[in-house]
Chain A
């Protein structure tokens, strides 16, 4: 740093002036120092996004272990935004695996029908009771949903639910799931739920809260006998008090094999031929008029019927009804005592004031 003092500079300047050099610079009072105008912000930086605090992605997850028939929540703190900020949930992910070696007929089983979730956000219900986790989203990649480990002793399952609209979760609030082990498999299962979210800085006036309701048919026992079943009005119902906007229907089937045989969700002939269904709404409008193969209603490539572009609505208290008919199936091997079950859900959203 220079040790030349201001006084020395002035002294030198005065000496220079005395010999006919430069003028002595005048001191400018601090109050008269001209203010420099703030630099103009280029137009392309005027996007409000750049002037807000940063919007950050965030991932939260929590796990629980469940025995058959058990029900439990997960640590809520783990699903809360640790930054104490508002956030928007974009996607919910479920991972399920066997906690220990499973029986032979339960290895490689898709556990999406075995574990059901009951979700609430504060006083808002997100699900109508317990909904099997494979009935929330559309199947994005069927081949990757169920994987068997190298020792062939258990299986790992992954299901994804991309929310119909981002769900606003205020700071300190949590979308709390309670998981139920429906007892379809006899093994203890590990369940992990993950939330993909982002922090937000503005509180919206309206929150788009998802709504999922499901109907699990009776177990067709045995599969070799013709039978029928139907959903009740209180199952696929809009119980939100708001207008429900339908995004999709999902439909899955489960095939319970006798001991020593593999239980699976892939009895192709069941969904494509033996199991047929009708679907009506609470006004009696035929959504699926004639008994149609289950696999044609919920196209088997994604196990869903996407309806976002239809714009269908259901009034408060409105409902859909499913009528199932299962023809007798002639089974081979030891499968005469096998059983089958169908899972149908409606997924959408409603508006709630924040």
Chain B
């Protein structure tokens, strides 16, 4: 076995994790101390995981609920923004296992709704020694009958940068931007604040993600029996969309169902393209069914000076 002093120079995995409770319609931040690497060494983050759970009052609410549609997140690393606005958590990564995204645990005295998500970053994110990637969670007002908050756990899976590694002069910073339609609108189009590049440098767009949120039995009055489900195919076929870029280029030229553009297996479309500085995608969505929201995300990265 090599001496400990040498062993500390070998790459080592690390997982930093913290959680907080996010009440409906409010904002919360987890414990920053737990998300900072304690030994003042730079860290590379490869993957960000989100685990959401909520005590469910049972009965009619014990349905499959994708909590990532209700909890939004905004991440910031010092002066580097990973998001300009809050982004629904389920838009960040691709869909991998639907059962784990909307799990119901019926064994506890109070049923628990559990949702797991992961965002494998387009490029590893370099976090300087002593710095912390700060998450802020926001929960949209939801129509659960009870007022129990949603618990959000965020985990950074990565590695400690070996000590002999030179500090980079530039880092790759991920970027995510959302477009979420408003309930009740049958037509809506995105604007220059949604799927756009606010920076003075091009963005490498890795993928577009798309989901449809359906409030089952939605009612404004408390005590109703709302459930939140991933939509069946009829819903994805219901809303159609067109996408073009800010130079008039056609991205989706014909009215196409959300489930066709973002296939139901991955809920994502890997585009691997470049968006110029200040560019944007314009999305127009038609025929949005009642009680339904269309969520579209743009995931990419850009280089910034450290």
- Are B107's CB and A312's CB within 8 A? no
Chain B residues whose C-beta falls within 8 Å of the C-beta of A257 in the assembled complex: 107
The CA of A17 and the CA of B110, in the complex, are separated in Å by 115
A25 at the interface (CB under 8 A from B): no
Q: Tell me which of A286, A290, A297, A313 contacts B11 (CB under 8 A).
A: A313
- In the assembled complex, the CB of B52 is this many whole angstroms from the nearest CB of chain A, namely 8
Shortest A248–chain B CB gap in Å is 10
Knowing A281-B12, A292-B15, A338-B107, the reply to whether A272 touches B38 (Cβ < 8 A) is no
Say if the beta carbon of B155 comes within 8 Å of chain A.
yes
Complex: chain B residue closest to A223, CB-CB: B107
Query: Measured between C-beta atoms, what is the minimum distance from B277 to chain A in Å?
Result: 30
8 Å CB contact of B116 from A141, A300, A305, A330: A300
Cβ-neighbour of A335 out of B2, B103, B107, B157 (below 8 A): B107
Which of A170-178, A184-192, A314-322 lines the interface with chain B? A314-322
Which of B93-101, B166-174, B207-215 is the interface stretch? B93-101
Please judge, given known A-B contacts A299-B116, A310-B159, A331-B109, whether A293 and B153 are in contact too, CB under 8 Å. yes
Stretch at the interface among A50-58, A75-83, A200-208, A262-270: A262-270
Q: Is A285 an interface residue (CB 8 A)?
A: yes
Whether A299 contacts B49 in the complex (CB less than 8 A), given A255-B107, A313-B11, comes out as yes
Give the Cβ gap from A260 to chain B, nearest Cβ, in Å: 14
Determine if A293 and B11 form an interchain contact, defined as CB atoms under 8 angstroms apart: no
Distance A286 CA – B160 CA, assembled complex (angstroms): 11
Check A305 against B34 for contact (C-beta < 8 Å): no
| Beta-carbon nearest neighbor of A313 in chain B | B10
Q: A283-B4, A316-B1 are in contact. Are A330 and B110 (CB under 8 A)?
A: yes
Is A70 interfacial (CB-CB < 8 Å)?
A: no
- Closest residue of chain A to B157 (Cβ to Cβ) is A305
Task: Collect the chain A residues with CB atoms within 8 Å of residue B153's CB.
Answer: 272, 292-293, 296
CB within 8 Å of B: which of A285-304?
285-290, 292-293, 295-297, 299-302
Q: Which residues of A contact B96 (CB under 8 A)?
A: 301-302
* Interface set, chain A 221-267, CB cutoff 8 A to B: 246, 255, 257, 266-267
| Residue of B with least CB distance to A332 | B109
- Residue-wise, chain B 197-216 has the 8 Å CB interface mask toward A (1 for contact) of 00000000000000000000
Query: How many of A's residues come within 8 Å of B, CB to CB?
Result: 49
- For A320, the closest partner residue in chain B by CB is B13
Q: CB distance A307 to B13 under 8 Å?
A: yes
Contacts of B228 in A (CB 8 A): none
Q: A268-B114, A301-B116 are in contact. Are A310 and B11 (CB under 8 A)?
A: yes
> Are B103 and A296 within 8 A (Cβ)?
no
> Taking the nearest CB of chain A, how far is it from the CB of B191, in angstroms?
33
Whether A296 pairs with B107 at a CB distance below 8 angstroms is: no
Give Cα distance in the complex from A142 to B151, angstroms: 24
Is B16 positioned at the interface, with any CB of A under 8 Å from its CB? yes
B195 to chain A, nearest CB (A): 26
* CB-based contact A143/B97 at 8 Å: yes
A286 touches B109 (CB 8 A): no
A316 to chain B, nearest CB (A): 6
B17 touches A296 (CB 8 A): yes
Q: Which of B15, B108, B118, B159 contacts A301 (CB 8 A)?
A: B118
> Hey, what's the 0/1 contact readout for B140-157 against A, CB within 8 Å counting as 1?
000000000001010101
Which of B38, B46, B155 is in CB contact (< 8 Å) with A286?
B38
B interface, over-half SS: strand
Chain A residues contacting B38 (CB-CB under 8 Å) are: 286, 289
Q: Is the CB of A285 within 8 A of B105?
A: no
Assess whether B109 is in contact with A268, with CB atoms less than 8 Å apart.
Answer: no
Q: Is the CB of A315 within 8 A of B112?
A: no
Q: Which residue on chain B has the smallest CB distance to residue A249?
A: B13
Tell me the complex Cα distance, A257–B106, Å. Answer: 12
Q: Is the CB of B1 within 8 A of A269?
A: no
Which of A293, A295, A297, A330 touches B108 (beta carbons < 8 Å)?
A330
Which residues of chain A have C-beta atoms less than 8 A from B49's C-beta?
A: 296, 299
A186 to B: closest C-beta gap in Å: 21
A295 B51 Cβ-Cβ under 8 A: yes
Instruction: Assess whether B235 is interfacial by the CB under 8 Å rule.
Output: no
Q: Is A309 an interface residue (CB 8 A)?
A: yes
Residue of A at shortest CB range from B49? A299
Q: Does A311 contact B (CB under 8 A)?
A: yes
Bound: A255/B108 CA distance, A: 12
With A269-B114, A273-B112, A302-B96 in contact, do A289 and B155 touch (Cβ < 8 Å)?
A: no
**B53 interface contact, C-beta 8 A:** yes
A90 contacts chain B at the CB level, 8 A cutoff: no
Determine how close the nearest CB of chain A comes to the CB of B267; give it in whole angstroms. 13
With a cutoff of 8 Å between Cβ atoms, the chain B residues found around residue A297 in the complex are 15, 17, 155
Please measure, in the bound complex, the distance between the C-alpha atom of A245 and the C-alpha atom of B110, giving whole angstroms: 43
Q: How far is the CB of A94 from chain B (nearest CB, A)?
A: 20
* A99 at interface by CB-CB < 8 Å: no
Cross-chain contact B13 with A318 (CB below 8 angstroms): no
A333 partner residues in chain B, CB cutoff 8 A: 107
Give the Cβ gap from A155 to chain B, nearest Cβ, in Å: 16
Known: A269-B105, A292-B15. 7 other contacts (CB 8 A): A267-B107, A287-B14, A289-B38, A290-B18, A295-B116, A333-B107, A338-B107
A-B contacts, 17 listed (Cβ < 8 Å): A142-B97, A268-B112, A269-B108, A279-B15, A288-B14, A290-B34, A293-B51, A296-B49, A296-B155, A301-B97, A309-B46, A310-B158, A311-B11, A312-B13, A330-B110, A331-B109, A332-B106
Which residues from chain B sit less than 8 Å from chain A, CB to CB? Answer: 1-2, 4, 7-8, 10-19, 34, 38, 46-47, 49, 51, 53, 96-97, 99-100, 103-112, 114, 116-118, 124, 151, 153, 155, 157-160
Which residues of A pack against B, CB within 8 Å? 141-143, 246, 255, 257, 266-270, 272-273, 279, 281, 283, 285-290, 292-293, 295-297, 299-302, 305, 307, 309-313, 315-318, 329-333, 335, 338
When A and B form their complex, which 7 residue pairs have the shortest distance between CB atoms, in order from nearest?
Answer: A268-B114, A268-B105, A292-B17, A269-B112, A332-B109, A301-B96, A268-B103
